[in-house]
Amino acid sequence: MRADHLELAAGAHDLIDRAVFRMRDDWVLGGESHVPRVEARTDKCGDAGLRIDSMTSSSELVAVDLTEREREFIQQALEQWALSAADAPFPVQILGLSTWDEFGDLTVRLKRAVTDGESLTDLDWARALFLTEITWASDLVGAGLDFATVTGFSDTEAVSLLRGLQRRRKIGGRTRA
C-alpha cells in the first residue's frame, strides 16, 4: 500500500497506527519503571512478529564520542523530520510518543544535543539512531531517495556512516552481536 493511497480524511498516520500497531504499557521492576511497548497486531499482520521495545528505562546520560561527520550526518537526518520527511505518515508510538507535537519536540531536542555533543540517555540514543536509519532508508516515511539531495550525503557515504554508528555498542544501551 502506498502512502498516497491512504484515506487522508481519516489521517494517514492514524490509519496506519490503527491497522498495524497497538500500544501496550508494561510496568517493569515492581512498577518503578514505565516502559512503553509497541507490538504488531496479529489480526492485521499475521506472523509479522514486529515488536519494538524501549531500549532502557534508565535516565543515566551516556556520552558517545562521534566524529564531526557522524554528528553532521545524524543532525541532517533529524533535520529532515522538520522538512521533507515531515509530511509522511509515521507511527510516533514506536518512539513512546503519542502526538506529532511530541515528535517534533523530540527531533529538535535530539538534533540540538547531537550537534552540541551533549550526552543523551540510552533511549534517546536509540531514538536518534532509529530516526537516522529511517530517514535515510525509507522513501515511505523518511527522506529516502531524496536524502542525498536534501542533505549532501551520498548513499555511499551515508551507508558507511550508518554502519559505523550501528556498530557502536554504546548507542541504544544494548550489546549487539
Give the pLDDT mean for 106-135.
Answer: 94
Q: Which residue has the cell 555533543?
A: 117
Instruction: Tell me how far CA of residue 12 lies from CA of 4, 6, 70, 104, 149, in angstroms.
Output: 9, 6, 32, 17, 26
User: Cα separation of 152 and 28, whole Å?
Assistant: 42
pLDDT of 147 higher than 90: yes
Say what the pLDDT of residue 47 is. 39
More confident residue, 25 or 108: 108
- Residue 153's contacts (CB-CB under 8 Å, 6 or more residues apart) are 73, 76, 136, 147, 161
pLDDT tens digits for range 114-124: 999 999 999 99
C-alpha grid cell for residue 30?
515492581
Give the pTM.
0.64
Say what the pLDDT of residue 115 is. 96
More confident residue, 87 or 5: 87
List Cβ<8 Å contacts ≥24 apart for 43-51: 44/19, 44/20, 45/20, 50/20
pLDDT tens digits for range 96-107: 898 888 999 999
CB 131 within 8 A of CB 77: yes
